[in-house]
Chain A
Amino acid sequence: MDSGGILGLTGAETAGALESGEIASDEVIGAWDRAAASDDLNSWLWLPEAREQEEATGAPVAIKDIFCTEGIPTTAGSRILEGYLPPYDSTAVAKLRAAGLPVLGKTNMDEFAMGSSNENSAFGPVLNPWDRTRVPGGSSGGSAACVAGGTALWALGTDTGGSIRQPAALCGIVGLKPTYGAISRFGMIAFASSLDQCGPLTTNVTDAAMLLSILEGRDPLDSTSTGIPGGIVPPEGEDLSGLTFGVPRSFLEKGVDPGVGDVFERSLTEIESLGGTVVEVELPHAELGISAYYILAPAEASTNLSRYDGVRYGMRVEERDLVEMYEQTRSLGFGREVKRRIMLGTYALSSGYYDAYYARAQRVRTLIARDFETAFEQVDFVVTPTSPSVAFEIGEKVGDPWTMYLNDLFTVPMSLAGIPAISIPAGLSEPAGGGPELPVGLQLAAPAYGEQKLLNASIALEKSIGFEGRTGEVGR
């Protein structure tokens, strides 16, 4: 099989062809190494110059540069980690390697996973393969762009408030945020520890399930990890009969671009044509999600990022005084958005403001989680558009933080509730200002540990929607 043939296989097909001996391990790795090197979207922060002989059982995986990789530079998209070579592998990467899936390279991202456009990377923005004047979404922008652009088969990302689902939607691929705790966070550079979760970005639902089945599991090195009871098997689903899908209409009124709304309505018709029942549900507190999130996540980040002080790793600005060294190092090492969130979080936790902001946001988080519990008494899934708009132009939203934050309006509530949610490509829509059509994502959320049901429903929808990727291939 030639290189082009290898690049055209799905994850499952690649594994099958390797097992039968139809293709060899070094052919698969070589084909993907050449594909990755051909990237012109700034998707990659690191690619190997040479490889040791590796025995692959499947295609190598693109790894967001937030996962520690032994002896391989890991930056989290920040200057402050310049020169850092982790002494160990994160559990997620170790599990992939143990399953015979090598590291293809490390992908670009918003600094410390803070952003929805990849414009906050210290190493430059990533371009959307559908339209190079537009963002790929973020913070897992490099991971989404390389998969959609064909320079990787599949990728790992992280999602704190939408950082897997939103870029997957904007790039026309599948992105899954599992239940909080399903996958170990050990060796995953921390942003907001009560929200951070690792997950796959793939061209199709079956491949997402394949990676999840390898990654999930309890890890003694992360005491908050639980795995998924019963594990994950290859998803199967032809129809949606007997399943109920809840649409939070009043929440969606908070702002969806008309084109995105049209594609979403067509998805609901698709669900019904597959035998599913669509009903309205109320999530009365979901619209407060962004407000609660922008207290809780920065608060956790402000403490997590206190470790970057020029002492143990990364860069240092030489000063004669210790505190001066801390301040100069952090001020030069962190980018603008990271500083903004450290400031916001420090303020919210500071004496006199703690109860008004942090404690109140934690209580609102409880109310949002309860809204989902109530909804799931009536429905199997909650469905929304993944993002209020299609991919926006580079530079369009950088001047106004809150407008940028609203990209995650529909993804943040699931993160706060800790429940699993997937974004699958639902169709194409013109941007609000006109121009070529761009991908729209459909988000489905399920109760905690409902990943298998979520994947089964997603595969039935994927077949029936028949979304054509950028290359024109259906369900590659």
Chain B
Amino acid sequence: MIDREQVAHVARLARLKLSEEEAGEFAVELSAILDHVDLLASVDTDGVEPTTHVVELVNVLREDVPGIELTVQQATANAPESEDGAFRVPSPQAEA
């Protein structure tokens, strides 16, 4: 079960702004999904190693030489707003 308060908390963590209606719907939908997911609790996983990755690779290194890079101009070309080769954003301290 996940209630509206938890939905609001998770939305804040995920940087999503939900309408009242959306928050209510998500509480119902996410609870329903988690009910199904709770099947996982029925399995004995004691002593089972978690899989983070299916391919067993260790320490893939590359030569320490400069390779293809984006120019500053290319890197900022898609930004909604940029200035002097930097991304421009609103102030983090503005009065909301």
Interface centre among B29, B75, B80 (most CB of A within 10 A): B80
**Chain B interface: which size bin?**
35 or more
B50 touches A328 (CB 8 A): no
Bitwise interface map of A from 329 to 343 toward B, beta carbon under 8 Å scored 1, else 0: 011001000011011
Bitwise interface map of A from 182 to 226 toward B, beta carbon under 8 Å scored 1, else 0: 000000000000100000000000000000000000001001101
Which residues of the other chain, A, contact B90 by a CB distance below 8 angstroms? 318-322, 324-325
B24 to chain A minimum Cβ distance, whole angstroms, is: 13
Which residues of the other chain, A, contact B94 by a CB distance below 8 angstroms? 320-322, 324
A326 touches B15 (CB 8 A): yes
19 further contact pairs, Cβ within 8 A, besides A319-B90, A320-B91: A83-B78, A194-B53, A194-B54, A223-B57, A295-B37, A302-B14, A312-B78, A315-B80, A320-B96, A321-B91, A321-B95, A322-B94, A327-B15, A330-B17, A357-B40, A360-B40, A364-B40, A364-B45, A418-B54
> Whose C-beta in chain B lies nearest to the C-beta of A83?
B78
B57 to chain A minimum Cβ distance, whole angstroms, is: 7
Known: A220-B62, A324-B96. A401 touches B33 (CB 8 A): yes
B32 to chain A minimum Cβ distance, whole angstroms, is: 6
CA distance A315 to B53 in the complex (A): 33
Which residues of the other chain, A, contact B52 by a CB distance below 8 angstroms? 194, 362
CA distance A441 to B31 in the complex (A): 33
Which residues of the other chain, B, contact A87 by a CB distance below 8 angstroms? 70, 74-75, 77-78
| Interface residues contributed by chain A, number (CB under 8 Å) | 70
CA distance A448 to B41 in the complex (A): 28
Whether a CB of chain B sits under 8 angstroms from the CB of A323 is yes
CA distance A364 to B57 in the complex (A): 21
CA distance A181 to B87 in the complex (A): 33
CA distance A206 to B48 in the complex (A): 40
Which residues of the other chain, A, contact B51 by a CB distance below 8 angstroms? 362-363, 365-366, 369, 416
A positions within 8 Å CB-CB of B: 83-85, 87-88, 180-181, 194, 220, 223-224, 226, 285, 288, 290-292, 294-295, 302, 306, 309-316, 318-328, 330-331, 334, 339-340, 342-344, 346-347, 350, 356-357, 359-367, 369, 401-402, 405, 416-418, 448
CA distance A319 to B18 in the complex (A): 17
A331 touches B16 (CB 8 A): yes
CA distance A402 to B38 in the complex (A): 13
B48 touches A366 (CB 8 A): yes
B55 touches A360 (CB 8 A): no
Known: A322-B94, A367-B48. A331 touches B40 (CB 8 A): no
